[in-house]
């Protein structure tokens, strides 16, 4: 009996080792099976916002719906506070973050980013009348020029770095900063590329965008959980295809370089 046990146990162990290992379901398979991709967004105009009827709209919403349609599923949006969106992804409450999230090394420790699909950053808007004689950006870095930015933003960080010798005014909110530059009490306003673009579109006579490129550029990627390589492969293929056919750049231009969407029927 003892000899039989000694012979059987190694054989059973070997058989168990040769059995195919259980393969955990991947996010892409789950999405295709349920027919929905759960998309995490935070409300930032015009990335994602609610229209007059309360429906979600914006650049990210259009991107997510296009992506979902080409995946053969529906986009199921989860509106989350910005501070909670990465946690929701890690916990499995959402499948992907599509919310203008800038790709940074620190965030890459928490999630995997797709290829970049949009650009953003910090830019400068100037009071046209007050700066018509200024020929070089570096000339603004002088105590005789007032440069304004909003506290605790990328704009204020860039302003402190590039305009350390100017009369730098750090204010509490966008409305205060915009009022200062519109009224000519500030020569320049450092803010996101989106804010400066919309300010110039709303006030073309008073505001100029002297640079064609951001003072500091960043790129946004879609975020997935660590290890979700199949889903990441699909997102990268989608971004590559929609970049090549100009759909992404055309859609981005509509939402960020014009105000046509404001008058779009709800």
User: pLDDT digit string (tens) for 81-132?
Assistant: 988 999 999 999 999 999 988 888 989 999 999 999 998 899 999 999 999 9
| Residue 61 and residue 77 in contact, taking contact as beta carbons nearer than 8 Å | yes
Domain span including residue 141: 121-217
Asked if the structure places residue 234 within a domain, the reply is yes
Asked if the structure places residue 196 within a domain, the reply is yes
Q: What is the CATH number of the domain that holds 171?
A: 3.40.190.10
Q: What mean pLDDT comes out for the span 256-265? A: 83
Is the per-residue pLDDT at 15 higher than 90? Answer: no
pLDDT band at 265 (very low <50, low <70, confident <90, very high): low
The continuous run of DSSP H or E covering 80 comes out as none
Asked if the structure places residue 17 within a domain, the reply is no
What's 185-243 look like in SS3?
CCCEEEEEHHHHHHHHHHCCCCEECCCCCCCEEEEECCEECCCCHHHHHHHHHHHHHHH
Do 126 and 213 lie in one domain? The reply is yes
Q: What mean pLDDT comes out for the span 150-167? A: 92
Percent helix, strand and coil across the chain, each to the nearest 5: 40, 20, 35
The continuous run of DSSP H or E covering 57 comes out as strand 56-57
What confidence score (pLDDT) does residue 21 get? 43
Sign of CA dihedral 185, 182, 140, 169: positive
What is the pTM (predicted TM-score) of this model? Answer: 0.77
| Residue 191 and residue 150 in contact, taking contact as beta carbons nearer than 8 Å | yes
Q: What mean pLDDT comes out for the span 230-241? A: 98
| Residue 256 and residue 194 in contact, taking contact as beta carbons nearer than 8 Å | yes
Asked if the structure places residue 6 within a domain, the reply is no
Q: Total domain count for the chain?
A: 2
Rounded CA gap, 249 and 138, in Å? 31
Do 103 and 132 lie in one domain? The reply is no
């Amino acid at each position: 009996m003892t000899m039989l046990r000694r012979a059987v146990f190694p054989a059973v162990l070997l058989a168990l080792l040769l059995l195919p290992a259980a393969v955990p379901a991947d996010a892409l398979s789950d999405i295709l099976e349920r027919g929905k991709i759960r998309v995490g967004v935070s409300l930032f105009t015009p990335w994602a916002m609610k229209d007059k009827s309360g429906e979600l709209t914006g650049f990210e919403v259009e991107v997510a719906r296009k992506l979902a349609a080409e995946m053969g599923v529906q986009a199921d949006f989860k509106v989350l506070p910005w501070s909670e969106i990465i946690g929701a992804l890690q916990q499995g409450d959402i499948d992907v973050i599509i919310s203008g999230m800038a790709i940074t090394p620190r965030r890459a420790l928490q999630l995997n980013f797709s290829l970049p699909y949009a650009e953003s950053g910090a830019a400068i808007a100037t009071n046209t009348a007050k700066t018509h004689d200024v020929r070089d950006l570096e000339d603004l870095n002088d105590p005789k020029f007032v440069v304004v930015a909003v506290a605790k933003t990328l704009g204020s960080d860039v302003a402190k770095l590039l305009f350390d010798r100017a009369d730098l005014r750090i204010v509490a909110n966008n409305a205060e900063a915009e009022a200062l530059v519109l009224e000519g009490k500030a020569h320049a306003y450092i803010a996101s590329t989106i804010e400066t673009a919309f300010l110039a579109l709303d006030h073309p006579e008073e505001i100029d965008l002297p640079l064609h490129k951001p003072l500091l550029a960043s790129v946004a990627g879609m975020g997935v959980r660590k290890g979700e390589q199949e889903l990441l492969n699909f997102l990268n293929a989608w971004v590559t295809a929609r970049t090549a056919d100009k759909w992404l750049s055309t859609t981005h231009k509509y939402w960020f370089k014009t105000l046509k969407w404001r008058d779009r029927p709800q």
